Amino acid sequence: MNVLVVDDEPIIRLGLRTLVDWEANGFTYAGDAEDGLEACELLDALNIDIVITDLIMPRMDGLALIRTLKERNRPISAVVLSCMDDFTYVKEAMKLGAKDYMLKPTMEPESLLEILRVVKQDLELLHKERKELLSRQQELESSKLMQLSAKLQAYIHTEQGEPELQTALFGAEEASSLVSLLLDTGSSAAEADWRWTGCLAALPLATGCVLLLVPAAAQQPGDDADAVVYAAAAALERAAKVRLPQAPDWFIGAGVIVRRLAQVKPAAALHARQRQERFYSNGWNRLILQAPDAASRPASLPYDIRSDLLRCIVHDNSEGYLHHAEELCRRLKEQRPDKEKVVSFIQELLALAAGYARERGCAEIERYEETFVYSNALNACSRFEQVKELLLQAMTMLMDSRWAAGKEHQHRSNNPFIRKVTTYMRDNYASPISTSDMADHVRLSRSYLSDLYSKEVGESLSETLTRIRMEEAKQRLRTGEMKVYEVAEAVGFPDAKTFAKTFKRVVGCSPKEFEKPI
């Protein structure tokens, strides 16, 4: 308990400071003041609990100080210590709320401590009661907020319970107006209790994202509705800066004035567009005042580009990883699907990529899965650029990993027939060779060689030959010195059309697209 001594006589202040062992008795001598005015300046600064005050002082006397203590929003007890033994003053001081009264000439330190201990017990009991009362009030407010929020969610989904909810939110004759506000805290700071926002009801829109219905400030004739909405949004922004220090990406969307329950759904649609705009934008504004118009048609997801990217992984075309990842992100930003759809779409892609990479023998597949598939990194992204960066990091990891498949196939077997047929394919890929030609070269039956090769290498003879041809084709295309039909002929294809079709299937893009710089 912090104690403040108020007396215009320095000797009294010094005596009280030194005669009593404050700390040993559970008190802190926080400071002293010459009169009531100086004491008032110290009450909050020193967090004073008990004031020991004289009655007759300049500027503000003890009675006025006690009267001021009663007006504080927290309990501060007063003990009067004075030379005056006039019962009139004693009676007035006790009437104003002083806990006890002692005469300076007869005061003993132990008597003062005994009084202070009783005052301390009373204060502790009062603090406990106030805390319990505040807790009950908060529980009641929370219960009311939760009940209204639950009814609002039920109405949005079923359109039932409108009359009762209409009255609860807007009054019997729609006398009250509310402001719709969007608060997006990000998935890392999802809240269940929105009392600190001052809202009457909350409607969750997504993880960590909620529509708040906040009482509108009283409007005067001629007041601009936009100004009322902005004032409510700005007030919430100030509160969020204090309340959400651990949520770096939170933001607020200013909505509209809502006077009827039927206006909540359009407000929710507006806030959904604000959230989507913030997801794709490069700005970091905490307060969004406008929303884009509703899209004329639903956004589509680029499954075709995702398939091309996965094909690159299946056929070990590392050059195509970043090319198709960049193209996929460009299409997503152009179409602007909902954030949840984008996250789910990319999460599926990362998981499928892991499966194909594992089949191809990716050396660091466990680290890839731990970093990108099983972690919460993607769900924690609040911006599309963060999603894009994560996808490119994943593709870069796969691209940089050493593969046990791909070009190392020829080194995975010590069988002389396997080595011999692999050398034959590398030496003759430009010719129209067949599996029968290969079997004749190693003097084995075609069926036996095919079975042996598949078991030893993990892919068929035709797949290896196609891969060798594609690797050679990519090298020629990179130089830019040959036409597509010339490359097709150089790597053993009968015509450019067949070559382009095979190249698209294996590499994931057309030969023309591959020629373009990534």
Domain boundaries, the chain: 2-128, 161-288, 303-400, 406-515
Cα(329)–Cα(325) distance, rounded to whole angstroms? 6
237: amino acid identity, one letter? E
Q: Is residue 261 within 8 Å of residue 170, measured between CB atoms? A: yes
Specify the pLDDT at position 136: 65
Cα(134)–Cα(123) distance, rounded to whole angstroms? 16
Angle between helices 303-314 and 339-359 (to 10 degrees): 20
Strand partners, 101: 80
> Average pLDDT per run of 10 along the chain, which is 518 residues long?
91 88 90 92 91 88 88 87 70 84 81 89 87 68 78 88 88 79 73 78 88 84 81 91 82 92 92 90 81 74 89 74 89 91 93 84 83 87 92 88 47 77 92 94 93 83 90 86 92 93 84 71
Give the single-character DSSP code of 5: E
Cα(299)–Cα(201) distance, rounded to whole angstroms? 31
Please name which of 239, 252, 262 lies closest in space to residue 178, comparing C-alpha atoms.
Answer: 262
Strands 209-215 and 201-206: antiparallel
Q: Is residue 274 within 8 Å of residue 252, measured between CB atoms? A: no
Strands 2-6 and 50-53: parallel
Cα(467)–Cα(318) distance, rounded to whole angstroms? 13
Query: Which residues contact residue 170 at a Cβ distance below 8 angstroms, ignoring those fewer than 6 apart?
Result: 176, 177, 178, 259, 260, 261
Query: Which residues contact residue 491 at a Cβ distance below 8 angstroms, ignoring those fewer than 6 apart?
Result: 429, 430, 469, 470, 472, 473, 476, 499
CATH 3.40.1350 fits 161-288, yes or no: no
Specify the pLDDT at position 405: 43
Specify the pLDDT at position 192: 57
Cα(306)–Cα(312) distance, rounded to whole angstroms? 10
Tokens representing residue 415 in the block: 């069988």
Please name which of 116, 76, 80, 85 lies closest in space to residue 101, comparing C-alpha atoms.
Answer: 80
Query: Which residues contact residue 211 at a Cβ distance below 8 angstroms, ignoring those fewer than 6 apart?
Result: 180, 181, 182, 202, 203, 204, 205, 255, 264, 267, 268, 271
CATH 3.30.365.10 fits 2-128, yes or no: no
CATH architecture of 406-515: Orthogonal Bundle (1.10)
Query: Which residues contact residue 349 at a Cβ distance below 8 angstroms, ignoring those fewer than 6 apart?
Result: 306, 309, 310, 328, 391
Specify the pLDDT at position 407: 45
Element (H, E) at 120: helix 109-158
518: amino acid identity, one letter? I
Cα(378)–Cα(67) distance, rounded to whole angstroms? 60
Strand partners, 23: none
Please name which of 465, 462, 476, 466 lies closest in space to residue 511, comparing C-alpha atoms.
Answer: 476
Q: Is residue 194 within 8 Å of residue 210, measured between CB atoms? A: yes
Give the single-character DSSP code of 80: E
Please name which of 247, 219, 251 lies closest in space to residue 236, comparing C-alpha atoms.
Answer: 251
130: amino acid identity, one letter? R
Cα(471)–Cα(478) distance, rounded to whole angstroms? 11
Strand partners, 31: 4
Element (H, E) at 326: helix 319-335
